[in-house]
Amino acid sequence: MFALPVGDNAQLRPLEPWHAQEFLAHIDRARPYVDPWIPWATFSTDLASATAVLQRYADRQAKDTARIYGIWLDGTLVGGVMFTKFDATSGVCEIGCWLEAAGAGRGLVTLACRALIDWAFKERGMSRVEWWATAGNTHSIKAARRLGMTRDGVLRQRSAYRGVRHDSEIWSVLSEEWSPVQEVPLSDVKAELDQLMRAFLGAFTNTGGSRPNINVVREVFIPQGMIISNVGDKPVIYDLDAFVEPREQILTDGTLTEFSEWEVAERTEIFESIAHRFSEYRKSGFLDGEWFEGSGRKTTQFVRTPAGWRMSSMAWDDV
């Protein structure tokens, strides 16, 4: 059985009838997030019905008309993706997904769907991959957009669910339009964020007679970046210019000398194109000729831009 990595500590694997007990436990957790939009979870209410769902997909896979895969995060089933329809003769298939809360915000569905779409086009020669979403299901529609799909149209009141008629949106991507994004491993993203933080902190160093390079702050931040000091009674909010100019002065006019600042601990979380870092830091130097040492905490937000990752905001509090 294959296991395809889809991000750190996550795998995409075939979901088979022998997974029924695990699948049912997962569906029970996912029910509040799935049931409002589609009857997927209602098909599996006990072990027998959960087994029947997976067996139905196994039978359809044997006929090459559907396939289903699970997403495991840290060894726990948290969601899945499937070809709900697969017609090799016409060259058209439909892809779908579901997820419980524990798997959200990590890009798992996007990565898994890209793997299926890539396989459909490159290995099976499909011409068109479709995505059907209930109008108003914003999570599903955002997923279609992230996959580079085009909204083909809306079928009004196409389906009935819980006594209400719902519109259906149709999204699709064609084989000639498909150019899967090469995912950067999270370890590489983390290394880039580490470097941004080192560059930011190093911008203020003036030890050994070195001259600080405060303008690095403008390079590691987006132009609209915000930096907040929450040391006193109320937050002081700076744009980049308001933050850089006074610090450049005190670091070059003799007010603050032999200064350096460094991280001693950090926790970084990455969610597709955004990231967050909580840091503990220390600092030391001579302020007006008096030696001082200090410490504090920072929280930093990052965004991925066409030019690479950049800081978007930072807030700190000295201990």
Q: Is the pLDDT of residue 184 over 60?
A: no
Q: In what order do the strands lie in the sheet with 308-318?
A: 236-238, 221-229, 308-318, 290-305, 274-287, 256-271
Q: What is the pLDDT of residues 222-237, one digit of tens each?
A: 999 999 999 888 899 9
pLDDT in the model for residue 265: 93
CA Rg value for the chain: 26
pLDDT in the model for residue 182: 55
Q: b/e per residue, 199-210, with b = 16+ CB within 10 A? A: ebbebbbbeeee
pLDDT in the model for residue 185: 67
pLDDT in the model for residue 252: 94
Read off the pTM.
0.60
Minimum mean pLDDT range among 34-48, 78-92, 101-115:
34-48
- Cα gap 128→188, rounded to integer Å: 33
pLDDT in the model for residue 181: 54
Query: Who wins on pLDDT, 36 or 251?
Result: 251
pLDDT in the model for residue 140: 87
How far out from the chain centre does Cα 158 lie? 32
Tell whether the torsion through CA atoms of 230, 232, 234 and 236 is positive or negative: negative
CATH of 186-318, one of 3.40.640.10, 3.10.20.600, 3.40.50.150, 3.10.450.50: 3.10.450.50
Query: Who wins on pLDDT, 318 or 162?
Result: 318
pLDDT in the model for residue 183: 56
Q: What is the pLDDT of residues 235-290, one digit of tens each?
A: 999 999 999 999 999 999 999 999 999 999 999 998 878 999 999 999 999 999 99
Q: Cα-Cα-Cα-Cα dihedral of 24, 30, 31, 34, to 10°? A: -120
Domains 4-177 and 186-318 share a fold: no
Q: Is the pLDDT of residue 301 over 60?
A: yes
Of the pLDDT bands very low, low, confident and very high (cuts 50, 70, 90), residue 302 is very high
Of the candidates 191, 143, 196, 152, the one whose C-alpha atom is nearest the C-alpha of residue 171 is 152
pLDDT in the model for residue 104: 84
Residue labelled with tokens 């109008």: 135
Minimum mean pLDDT range among 110-124, 181-195, 232-246:
181-195
- Cα gap 286→208, rounded to integer Å: 12
pLDDT in the model for residue 59: 97
What single-letter DSSP state applies at residue 208? G
pLDDT in the model for residue 111: 87
Helix, strand and coil percent figures for the chain, each rounded to 5: 35, 40, 25
Runs of H (alpha helix) within the chain: 20-34, 47-62, 108-122, 138-146, 186-202, 216-220, 240-252
Beta-bridge partners for 69: 14, 81
**Domains in the chain: boundaries:** 4-177, 186-318
- Cα gap 29→24, rounded to integer Å: 9
- Cα gap 118→6, rounded to integer Å: 14
pLDDT in the model for residue 180: 62
pLDDT in the model for residue 135: 84
Q: Is the pLDDT of residue 1 over 60?
A: no
Q: Is the pLDDT of residue 199 over 80?
A: yes
Q: What are the distances in angstroms from CA 1 to CA 4, 12, 96?
A: 10, 11, 22
4-177 folds as Aminopeptidase (3.40.630)
Q: b/e per residue, 288-312, with b = 16+ CB within 10 A? A: eeeeeeeebebebebebeeeebbbb
- Cα gap 315→227, rounded to integer Å: 6
Asked if residue 245 lies in contact with residue 238, where contact means CB atoms within 8 angstroms, the answer is: no
Q: Is the pLDDT of residue 13 over 70?
A: yes
- Cα gap 11→7, rounded to integer Å: 8
pLDDT in the model for residue 2: 73
